[in-house]
Amino acid sequence: FSEKDLDQSYEVNFPGVRPGMTLREILGVLKSTYSNTLGFEYFHIPDLKKVEWIRSRIEDPGFMPTNREKLMSVYKSLVEVDTFESFLGSKYKTTKRFGVDGGEAAISGMKAAIEKSVSLGVEEAM
């Protein structure tokens, strides 16, 4: 693209792209969406509606939290799970137990779901 092309406005239907953004701005949104350090695998899901639901959320530039406090909260929750797992491994070495290996993110996800539920008025969860 030429510099003139990059400064021209385009109408694009994509999450996070506002009407009238320049090609330079659109490319910035696309780079932040597709060229980051986080990836998702969801094309193994056979239900196209579910795939589109996931895609519409993860392609939105606002999907990833940028608030330092929120990121630290997620990090602390991951560290707590990992620390507890290490404690159980050292305390009960010979006891058969199920760990959270690979499921640490699920713990953070469950915590986020519960917090969101509370903000929406849920009073009890099992």
Per residue, what are the HEC states of 14-69? CCCCCCCCEHHHHHHHHHHHHCCCCCCCCCCCCCHHHHHHHHHHHCCCCCCCCCHH
Which pLDDT value is given to residue 121? 93
Which pLDDT value is given to residue 92? 80
**What residues in the chain have per-residue pLDDT under 70?**
97-98, 102
Which pLDDT value is given to residue 46? 95
Least Cα distance to 58 among 75, 81, 41, 76 occurs for: 41
